[in-house]
Structure 1
Amino acid sequence: MYVTLFASRNGYLDHSLQATVEDIEQRLRKWKADALLNASEHDVIETLIGLGTVACPVLLREEIYTLEMTEEERQYVEFGDRITRRVTVMTFVVPYEGEEYVFRVRPTATTLNPPRVAELNSRDLRIVLDIGAMETEQLRRQFHEQLDSIDMYLAWARTDIDRHNQRIRSLVPQLVAQRKAELLAQRNLQAELGFPIRRRADAGTYSVPVKRREIRPTEHSGSRAGSKPFTPEPAMADADYEAALQALGHQRNALERSPAVAVGMDEEAIRNLLLVNLNAQFEGAATGETFNASGKTDILVRVQDRNIFIGECKFWNGPQSASDALDQLLGYLTWRDTKAALLLFIKNKDVSAAVKSAAVTIDAHPNTKRRGHQNTDERIDFVLHANGDSNREIRLALLPFALPADATSRFKRKTQSQDADN
């Protein structure tokens, strides 16, 4: 009994692929609203893409092996008569990777004589050849001809599948965004929350080359994924986050170009300088200041008793300093907070090595999920999850500051002196 591969009687590959798209749409529709709104959008997209993409089978030719030769009774037709003969056969086992059903349906391209095999399962296919009086080379050639025929059909199937997978990767993010927008609209959450920030009338008097912005928080999920109700929360809009990082970057560049300014400055002094320039760009509704200080090294944007932005300032003293700063920053952030920056002050020597080491340290942190979009010498982005909630994602920008060695030395001396006094 033989199995005909890529047979139209089992269906068509393009129909099966379209059914996969429809299944993705149905899964998204049936996803519980609170769970979807509270989950990490990136994780939802990756999950659905994983379910929707198809792995075209690949024959693992280097792993082919044979079973012991056996004798079987075969029926033949000779001159109109059906006769039975006992013949010696050899079974070739061909392992493969990919999805079995691709072998069973017809791709867009085809021939009138698709290949056949003795057996097909989820791990391998088996080709049985009647040895008869065949020489070794003849047997090898016949076997490879069958393999080549199967590979030809797989190449046709792969064309269909690659087109489908590309469609899935572009379609799923749109479907997720549309579904979340529908759910938010149903709950009347499209209106922005409070936290208006006005443009300063005196914006033109400041020299930092960033236009002043009116910041409004976007809506963001507020409870852990699952059946718990979705609740709105204040969050810093992406454009405002990027504008704040840009302002910090401009100030960093100014300090690096004017090292005499930074000499003798400790973390708190540099933090205060950054605050002045940030508040020259943004104005809060209640106090006139958007960015505030907390402790000696923190830069905060706080609304409704929540920190929607935190910047942590830290001098680089090896990988442990980056790890400590990250732990401290995560300790400030609750599961409602979504955006942060780690401002790493590095003395001029081996700045690139220090940045690389800091990035490796952050990559290895248990809260780190993946790298973000930016990965340059001036900024490296990460996506972390909040303590105790893997679905609450925190965007972290690592901003290195190359400062004069004297600034770091003075900070060390001051710290050692404080330790001695204590």
Structure 2
Amino acid sequence: MRQTNRNYLFHDGDLSSTLDDARAAATEAVSLLPRDQFLSTSIDTLVEHLTAQHHIEPLQLLEEHTTMDQQEARVDVTGRFDYATRDSGRTFAAGHELTFYIPYTGDVRLWHLKANMFFSVVSVGTIDPRSSSLIIQLANTSNTDAARYKQAFDSEITRIRQIIQAQGGMLSAYHNELPTLVRGAIDRRRAELEKLNVLASVFNIPMVKKSGMPEFRPIEVARRIARPLPRPAATGFKPEPAINTEMFEDVLSIIRHAGASFEGAPQTYKSLGEEGLRDNVLSHLNALFEGRATGETFRKYGKTDIRIEEESRAAFVGECKLWGGEKILLEALNQLLDYVTWRDCKSALVIFNKDVAGFSEIQGTVARALPTHPNFLRAKETGRIGEWRYVFKSAEDPVREVTVHVFMFNLYLKPERSAKKR
């Protein structure tokens, strides 16, 4: 079976070397970002942007959409024992040519790159990037059985599939390690800027654990077009206060501990409204932390929110709400995003369910609804049931990001049980 072109596939370059170049380009891109934009953008957003920019989409054949064309052809039979050939020159016979068009997705460059495997036979085909199609042409004399065409086509496609699969394994390893490489390059650049006293990425708001307070560990209860980076402010980057990640986790641990105590004795807390539950959470927080000027680091604002402030702007906001459906959930989120915040604001959205029996359904609503918000950027893993963590753009300024850790605590009591308690 003769193919009517000699366009070799997976033949002109090496995928391994190409991926090495891509890794180097991704880390080099970190140093090429304008300084103010680099400093004004969160690390997670930088990682997402640069890994998306250097993502290489694997090839995938859409074989179910293959089409075929056929036409008459003159086939070169020079030297074939089943045809009488001339003493000199080429000999041609009447034949048929079949052309197969197989759509594909993925980076067109991969059709020219060798994977880490060897075939003694080189695949042949034509790539049409305009229609994103692989074109395979087969020709033979008019007396050739149809089964031979099918055998030749299947053999070619099987070989191409195996190479694409090998490429896919190499690309998967590349994509898995790329975020770590980019994050390392970001950390190194920030460290260099710190050495030059140019960057103070996080001012830790003074907040220390009160002496003599016991440590505790709460009972464990059984997340490809590159998004453009936000523009930095016209005035350039200015360091801003924030609570650091370790302190944020300590704050969340206390809220988690308070919520567990609520769930352990729901009959005690069920009568409290939003403000009463908020005050209880607030007392837990201020029992373990103290601020620079007062005994209360965490302060009350309005009916349901708790804040840490620096220079009259919120660096941490905790919002407490009674569950009232998806509408109330999104309104509470909007409240958080509407606050005037520092660039790296951290927050907690604490939801108490007192009236709905189907708690698992409520949890499903949270997981489904919050990522649909127009300011949603990314979800982050919490490793805990009944907790979610998301990052949103601030409603005030897209450069500012708000981390929202969501808790759900169930204070629901069956009516008959509640009546017995009375």
Q: Would the TM-score normalized by the shorter structure come out above 0.5?
A: yes
Structural mapping, 1:52-131, within 5 Å: 52-72=54-74, 74=76, 76=78, 78=85, 81-85=88-92, 87-117=95-125, 119-122=126-129, 123-131=132-140
Structure 1: segments with no counterpart, 5+ residues: 212-222, 407-422
Structure 2 length as normaliser, TM-score? Answer: 0.83
1:95–1:124 Cα contact (<8 Å) kept: yes
Q: Give 2:108's aligned amino acid.
A: E
Q: Is the 8 A contact 1:14 1:107 kept in 2?
A: yes
CA-to-partner distance for each residue in 1:349-379, whole Å, 9 max, x for gaps?
3333333334433233222223221264432
2:180: which partner in 1? 170
Cα distance in 1 for partners of 2:190, 2:72 equals: 61
Deviation at 1:202, TM superposition (A): 4.3
Is 1:135 the counterpart of 2:154? The answer is: no
Per mean C-alpha deviation after superposition, the further-off stretch among 13-22 and 328-337 is 328-337
Question: Aligned equivalents of 1:125 and 1:191: distance in 2?
Answer: 50
**Can you give the 5+ residue segments of structure 2 that lack an aligned partner in the other structure?**
80-84, 219-229, 415-422
Give the alignment's TM-score, normalised by structure 1: 0.83
For 1:196, what is the secondary structure of its paired residue?
Answer: coil
| Separation in structure 2 between the aligned mates of residue 362 and residue 156 of structure 1, nearest angstrom | 38
C-alpha separation in 2, matches of 1:167 and 1:161: 10
How far did residue 160 of structure 1 move? 3.3
> Does residue 295 of structure 2 align to residue 285 of structure 1?
no
The 2-side partners of 1:177 and 1:97 are apart by: 35
Mapped partners of 1:97, 1:314: distance in 2: 46
- Is the alpha carbon distance of 1:47 and 1:72 closer, same or farther for their aligned partners in structure 2, counting shifts above 3 Å? farther
1:330 corresponds to: 337
Residues of 1 paired with 2:18 and 2:304: CA distance?
57
Match of 2:420 in 1: none
- Does 254-263 or 139-148 show the bigger shift? 254-263
Q: Deviations over 1:326-345 (max 9, x none)?
A: 22222224353521111212
Q: 2: distance between equivalents of 1:142 and 1:260?
A: 75
Q: In the aligned structure 1, how far is the partner of 2:343 from the partner of 2:180?
A: 29
Partner Cα separation in structure 2 for residue 263 and residue 80 of structure 1: 102
Give the direction of change, closer, same or farther, for the CA distance of 1:356–1:11 in structure 2 (3 Å limit).
Answer: closer
Structure 2 equivalent of residue 392 of structure 1: 400
C-alpha separation between the residues in 2 aligned to 1:81 and 1:250? 93
Give the conservation status (yes or no) of the 8 Å contact 1:75–1:82.
no
Residue aligned with 1:163, SS: helix
- For 1:80 and 1:43, the matched residues in 2 are separated by 71
User: Which residue of the partner structure matches residue 357 of structure 1?
Assistant: 365
Distance 1:116 1:201, change over 3 A: closer
Aligned 8 A contact 1:90 1:131 in 2: no
Equivalent residue of 1:343, what SS? strand
In structure 1, what is the Cα distance between the partners aligned to 2:395 and 2:377?
12
Provide the residue aligned with 1:276 in structure 2: 283
Cα deviation for residue 233 of structure 1 reads 0.6
- The 1:341/1:44 distance shift into structure 2, 3 A limit, reads same
User: Aligned match of 1:344 in 323, 348, 351?
Assistant: 351
Separation in 1, partners of 2:259, 2:325: 20
> 2: distance between equivalents of 1:334 and 1:190?
18
- Count matched residues: 390
| Conservation of the 8 A alpha-carbon contact between 1:268 and 1:297 | yes
Q: Contact 1:335–1:387 (CA<8 Å) still a contact in 2?
A: no
Structure 1 segments of 4 or more deviating over 6 A?
none
Q: Over residues 277-324 of structure 1, what are the superposed CA-to-partner deviations in whole Å (9 max), with x where a residue is unaligned?
A: 211111111112211111221111111222111111212222222122
* Cα distance in 2 between the residues matched to 1:145 and 1:210: 61
SS of aligned partner of 2:341: coil
1:298 and 2:305 aligned = yes
Aligned to 1:6: 10
Taking only aligned residues, the RMSD between alpha carbons, in angstroms, comes to: 2.9
Residues 344 and 400, structure 1, Cα contact 8 Å, conserved in 2: yes
Which amino acid letter does the alignment assign opposite residue 314 of structure 1?
K
Q: Percent identity?
A: 25
CA distance in 1, matches of 2:328, 2:163: 57
